[in-house]
């Protein structure tokens, strides 16, 4: 062995060691950068980045500044960095709520707030009619229990009690029927003009009017729904020879309805004000280096919004807690990752253009990504793929990474295998292009997607999702992988071939007997249920339902909102053929859906 060779080998070894040190340093510095961005986005100053809030606005400006510093092209409205959209952020009672009764002893005008208030999902409007007591408002043929049996409620004002003959026991067989949304839906289906809801006097802990905050659907229940106080409800029974407490006691003991007309007339008006907020996506384009391919675009997206202070109806899993939800992993991590990919690519653009998108409104139902898909800054057919980063900050050792959308392009398996030969991540894959994040909006529009995710954890949607709990070195490796992935996709000689995944498994939530495989667009404000797409090979897919369809009737039920749709599913069993009335563009069509068995599988 020559000394010269040994000397050369020594030099080579030193160089290799230096390269390794440089690579480690680079990883260290990437981890530090990611840590910095996550700590900033998840800081108390940004107050949990609730869409449309001041904290979210500050976050959006931070992202826009980064894009600008990298020399990217602002691609929001009118050449600004921001794409605006509005959504219903909260609802509150407006002026003009009124409720009065024509009692035997004379008229009784109820006091707003003290004796009644509209529920958040009430329609605004007025109604008058005879008051009919419909027990717990439960119509459950499957349980052989029907508070509406033999009762005519058409055009009448229905009074129902909260809960069930088993009280509020969550283990009760009546559990699925206790939701007030459901009670309103049943009453409306039977032709009621309005619904009054009261807490029954038996075992009542509170007697104030029911207060139900804003929930997951922006669409109202299709009729006025007022919560009334227990004493006011009791007053409607005066002079009848029976009182509410006795009737309720009997229903609870015998598990038997005690419905009846009350011989009282009600006049009411419900006024609910929907408070809209303005939110923004932050969009920036990195023009492609190859003139022949630069007209095509790969979208790299991450939502930057989170739950603000949490609370009822926010999606927080910290029940009854009002505190900043920092959303460090969800999704300051993906936002920081997206910014790091932009930084790496900005100086060496790949062949195709890359659109970087920081979405708002994800937590309210993928509103921002849906806005981008509906109103893209460039023709939609030029978007060749979407890569979504949502919760990438807590990789387990490996580091482990889950990739969704694996089945949505013919090229993905080979491309990912080749890429990971360099990265050595512990990959798990999931074929479906649908999931509870923004890539769903793109897949529904027939765009191939990849969804990068490092897994759920106990701090998910809680104030404890803090920046100190992330694994930054692991995240740096995931982001390195994501950056190379973006380049590979943007450099593909041919655009990836979209595939609808043949069998995308259970979609609707656990516990449904049947499913259709239709994917609702959560931001739709109704009436009806608008579909953002259908799962490949599902009943809805086979029936010919399409993205953009609005379901107005499902079997016998008129569909005002997503809840009506869920209850309609509950009316059926697998194998039932159901006729759907669907609004498609300017026309309406009827489609036959053969329902499939629902059951297991997470969302
Ligand atoms: Zn979330």
Residue 439 φ/ψ, nearest 5 degrees: -60, -30
Distance 358 CA to ligand 1 centre (A): 14
pLDDT at 10 over 80: no
Backbone φ, ψ for residue 61 (5° rounding): -65, -40
How large is the average pLDDT for residues 114-119?
94
Q: Which of 20-29, 122-131, 444-453, 568-577 has the lowest mean pLDDT?
A: 20-29
Q: Is the peptide bond before 471 cis (omega within 30 degrees of 0)?
A: no
Section 475-480 average pLDDT? 97
Residues 6+ apart with CB under 8 A from 260: 132, 133, 151
At 25, the pLDDT band (50, 70, 90 cuts) reads low
To the nearest whole number, what is the mean pLDDT of the chain?
89
Q: How far is the CA of 552 from the centre of ligand 1 (A)?
A: 29
Name the burial class of residue 275, with classes exposed (0-12), middle (13-18) and buried (19+) by CB atoms within 10 angstroms of its CB.
exposed
CA–centroid distance, 331 to ligand 1, in Å, is: 7
Beta bridge partners of 92: 273
> Residue 411 Cα, ligand 1 centroid: separation in angstroms?
29
**Which among 416, 410, 348 has a CA at the least distance from the CA of 384?**
410
Give 460 Cα–ligand 1 centroid separation in angstroms: 7
Helix (H) or strand (E) holding 533: strand 529-534
Name beta bridge partners: 3: none
For residue 109, what pLDDT band results from cuts at 50, 70 and 90? very high
Q: How far is the CA of 364 from the centre of ligand 1 (A)?
A: 9
Q: Give the model confidence (pLDDT) of 214-262 as tens digits.
A: 666 677 889 999 999 999 999 999 877 889 999 999 999 999 999 999 9
How many whole angstroms from 495 Cα to the centroid of ligand 1? 31
How far, in Å, CA of 92 to CA of 98, rounded?
15
Q: Which residue would you say has higher pLDDT here, 227 or 141?
A: 227
pLDDT at 397: 94
pLDDT band at 21 (very low <50, low <70, confident <90, very high): low
Most confident of 2-16, 302-316, 488-502: 488-502
What pLDDT score was predicted for residue 6? Answer: 41
Residue pair 145/257 in contact by the 8 Å Cβ criterion: yes
More confident: 170 or 282: 282
Burial 553-581 (b: 16+ CB within 10 A, else e): bbbebbbbbbbbbbbbbbbbeeeeebebb
Instruction: Assign 340 to helix, strand or coil.
Output: helix
Range 500-524 average pLDDT: 70
What pLDDT score was predicted for residue 550? 94
Going from the Cα of 309 to the center of ligand 1, the distance in angstroms, rounded, reads: 13
pLDDT exceeding 70 applies to what percent of the chain? 92
Q: What is the mean pLDDT of residues 305-326?
A: 87
For residue 428, the CA-to-ligand 1 centroid distance in Å is 21
Higher pLDDT, 496 or 10: 496
Distance 462 CA to ligand 1 centre (A): 10
In percent, how much of the chain has pLDDT > 90?
A: 68
151-204 confidence digits (pLDDT tens):
999 999 999 999 999 998 888 999 889 989 899 999 999 999 999 999 999 987
24 pLDDT more than 70: no
């Amino acid at each position: 062995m020559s000394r010269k060779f040994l000397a050369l080998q020594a030099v080579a070894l030193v160089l290799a060691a230096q390269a390794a040190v440089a690579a480690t340093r680079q990883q260290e510095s990437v981890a530090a950068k990611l840590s910095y961005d996550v700590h900033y986005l998840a800081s108390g100053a940004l107050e949990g980045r609730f869409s449309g809030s001041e904290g979210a606005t500050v976050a959006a400006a931070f992202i826009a500044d980064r894009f600008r510093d990298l020399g990217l092209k602002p691609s929001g409205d009118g050449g600004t960095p921001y794409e605006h959209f509005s959504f219903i952020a909260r609802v509150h009672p407006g002026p003009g709520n009124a409720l009065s009764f024509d009692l035997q002893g004379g008229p009784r005008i109820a006091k707003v707030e003290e004796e009644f208030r509209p529920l958040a999902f009430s329609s605004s409007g007025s109604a008058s009619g005879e008051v009919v007591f419909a027990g717990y408002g439960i119509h459950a043929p499957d349980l052989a229990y029907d508070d509406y049996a033999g009762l005519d409620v058409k055009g009448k004002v229905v009074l129902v009690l909260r809960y069930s003959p088993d009280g509020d026991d969550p283990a009760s067989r009546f559990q699925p029927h206790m939701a007030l949304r459901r009670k309103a839906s049943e009453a409306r289906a039977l032709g009621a003009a309005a619904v009054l809801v009261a807490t029954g006097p038996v075992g009542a802990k509170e007697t104030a009017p029911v207060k139900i905050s804003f929930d997951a659907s922006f669409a109202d229940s299709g009729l006025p729904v007022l919560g009334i106080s227990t004493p006011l409800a009791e007053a409607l029974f005066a002079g009848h020879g029976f009182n509410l407490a006795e009737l309720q006691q009997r229903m609870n003991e015998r598990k038997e309805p005690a419905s009846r007309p009350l011989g009282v007339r009600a006049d009411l008006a419900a006024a609910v004000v929907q408070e809209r907020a303005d939110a923004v996506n932050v969009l920036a384009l990195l023009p492609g280096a190859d003139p022949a391919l630069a007209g095509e675009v790969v979208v790299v997206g991450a939502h930057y919004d989170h739950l603000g202070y949490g609370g009822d109806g926010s999606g927080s899993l910290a029940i009854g807690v009002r505190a900043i939800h920092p959303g460090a992993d969800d999704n300051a991590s993906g936002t920081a990752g997206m910014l790091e990919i932009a930084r790496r690519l900005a100086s060496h653009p790949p062949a195709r253009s890359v659109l970087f998108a920081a979405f708002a409104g994800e937590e309210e139902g993928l509103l921002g990504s849906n806005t981008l898909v509906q109103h893209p800054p460039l023709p939609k057919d030029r978007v060749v793929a979407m890569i979504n980063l949502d919760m990438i900050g807590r990789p387990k050792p490996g580091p482990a990474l889950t990739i969704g959308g694996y089945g949505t392009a013919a090229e993905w398996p080979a491309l990912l295998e080749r890429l990971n030969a360099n990265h050595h991540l512990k990959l798990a894959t999931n074929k479906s292009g649908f999931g509870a994040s923004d890539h769903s909006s793109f897949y529904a529009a027939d765009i191939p997607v990849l969804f990068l995710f490092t897994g759920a954890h106990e701090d998910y949607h809680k104030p404890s999702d803090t920046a100190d709990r992330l694994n930054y070195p692991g995240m740096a490796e995931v982001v390195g992988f994501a950056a190379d992935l973006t380049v590979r996709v943007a450099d593909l000689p041919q655009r990836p071939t979209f595939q609808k995944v043949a069998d995308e498994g259970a979609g609707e939530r656990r516990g449904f007997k049947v499913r259709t495989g239709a994917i609702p667009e959560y931001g739709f404000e109704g009436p009806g249920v608008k579909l953002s797409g259908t799962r490949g090979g599902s009943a809805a897919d086979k029936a010919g339902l399409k993205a953009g369809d609005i379901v107005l009737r499902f079997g016998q039920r008129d569909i005002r909102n997503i809840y009506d749709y869920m209850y309609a599913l509950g009316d059926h069993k697998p194998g039932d053929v159901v006729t759907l009335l669907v609004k498609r563009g300017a026309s309406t069509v009827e489609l036959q859906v053969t329902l499939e068995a629902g059951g297991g599988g997470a969302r």
